[in-house]
Amino acid sequence: MTKRQLWLRFIAHLDRPLLFGIGLLMLASLLVLYSADNASWGQPLKQVLNIVVALICMWMVANMPLHYLMRTAVPIYVLGMVLLIGVALFGEISHGARRWLNLGIFTIQPSELMKIGVPLMMAWYFEKNEATLTLKNYFIAALLLFMPIGLIARQPDLGTSLLISASGFYVLFLAGLSWRVIGGLFVAGLASAPVLWSMLHDYQKHRIMMLFDPSQDALGNGYHTIQATIAVGSGGMLGKGYLNGTQTHLDFLPERTTDFIFAVYSEEFGLLGNLILLSLYAFVVMRGFVITGNASTYFTRLMAGSITLTFATYAFVNMGMVSGILPVVGVPLPLVSYGGTSMLTLLLGFGMLMSIETHKKLVKT
């Protein structure tokens, strides 16, 4: 076998358009991290390692046949639930939240696993009951969604619980949940808002209130929002130039390598740069929709659609949070913010998309 044949076989199950879009976003991540880390190679090099590990895992999942992918649904979900219960009982407390579980060799955040485990399990359940779907099946699927969400919200981790809720809702929607039921759930959600508000922690309430007037606590809970919106607005049309962001390099901007990295990018590249970044996200999302439309089974359509819509939601929530139109909920900018766990979770999802696309010809329709 020639080198060319080996290479073609190696990349056979990688969707090239999707990989192209992901690669450009990762390149943007390294460029912005270098600036956000004060022109230091510390975090960019760590991010390179995160990317390499995540790409290897993505390649492994992309090469996994669809029936193997389905078989992982129940074990991943059950493992995630066991780990979440472990967090509730034995988890480490940091900054007032119990989100991490120390396994001796390493420490993990099980809620990240459930970003994949919940939609995977729900899609598997609907696939098994496709022929006889009733309202009862949707109720059971909702229970599969709300059990981990309850444990995650209890940690507390409002941002992750909301995003997993969104990923599960997308599966319910794509599975054909009636608009009448969706409308009823929406009305019920509005009616229960006072009860839900009373269940929030004080800092969560403050974050939501800061959305309406961050100047109420300009040096406290409103500080992040004020400094981020200043950075985004000061970028203007063309930005201040690479490595020239004053909000970033004068240390006004908090969490600039993680949750607020979009503010760094906006300040240095301006509106034009933002349009380019949005175009890259739109390209990845549209490719995800194409894969969803071409999916050959009920399970793969639900899974591909949920992964794509959840990715779009992540990007929207982060950009909205940084721009001041959504409350600060601690959601990273997908594929751009620094972080190994989030990078791994995202690329596992993209690996599933690639498996769905490249193995579809092997599945009878």
Residue with tokens 């450009």: 24
Residues 268, 35: contact at Cβ < 8 Å?
Answer: yes
pTM, two decimals, is 0.90
Q: What is the reported pLDDT for 276?
A: 96
Residues 6+ apart with CB under 8 A from 108: 83, 100, 101
Helices (H), the chain: 3-10, 16-36, 42-62, 66-71, 73-90, 110-128, 135-153, 158-174, 179-191, 193-199, 202-212, 223-234, 246-249, 261-294, 298-323, 340-358
Adjacent-strand bridge partners of 93:
98
Residues 6+ apart with CB under 8 A from 155: 87, 88, 91, 97, 98, 99, 111
Residues 311, 284: contact at Cβ < 8 Å?
Answer: yes
Q: What's the token pair of residue 185? A: 């759930």
Residues 210, 223: contact at Cβ < 8 Å?
Answer: no
Q: What is the reported pLDDT for 134?
A: 85
Q: What is the reported pLDDT for 118?
A: 94
Residue with tokens 């190994």: 340
Q: What is the reported pLDDT for 44?
A: 93
Q: What's the token pair of residue 97? A: 């939240």
Q: What is the reported pLDDT for 364?
A: 46
CA distances in angstroms from 159 to 108, 168, 230, 318, listed in the order given: 17, 14, 23, 10
In the chain, where are the structural domains located? 15-362
| Residue 30 CB neighbour total at 10 angstroms | 17
- CA–CA separation, 95 vs 93, rounded Å? 7
Q: What is the reported pLDDT for 319?
A: 94
Q: What's the token pair of residue 46? A: 């760590």
- pLDDT, tens digit only, all 365 positions of the chain: 677 767 667 777 889 999 999 999 999 999 999 999 888 888 899 999 999 999 999 999 999 988 888 899 999 999 999 999 988 888 777 766 788 887 777 677 888 889 999 999 999 999 998 878 888 899 999 999 999 998 998 887 878 888 899 999 999 999 988 888 888 777 877 777 777 777 776 766 766 776 666 767 666 777 888 888 899 989 999 999 999 988 888 888 888 898 999 999 999 999 999 999 999 999 999 999 999 999 988 999 999 999 999 999 999 999 999 988 888 887 899 999 998 888 999 999 999 999 999 877 544 44
Residues 6+ apart with CB under 8 A from 330: 157, 158, 159, 259
Query: How wide is the angle at C-alpha 189 spanned by C-alphas 120 and 212, nearest 5°?
Result: 105
Its sign, for the CA torsion 61, 62, 63, 68, is: positive
- CA–CA separation, 63 vs 356, rounded Å? 10
Phi and psi angles of residue 241, each rounded to the nearest 5 degrees, phi first:
105, 150
Residues 15, 358: contact at Cβ < 8 Å?
Answer: yes
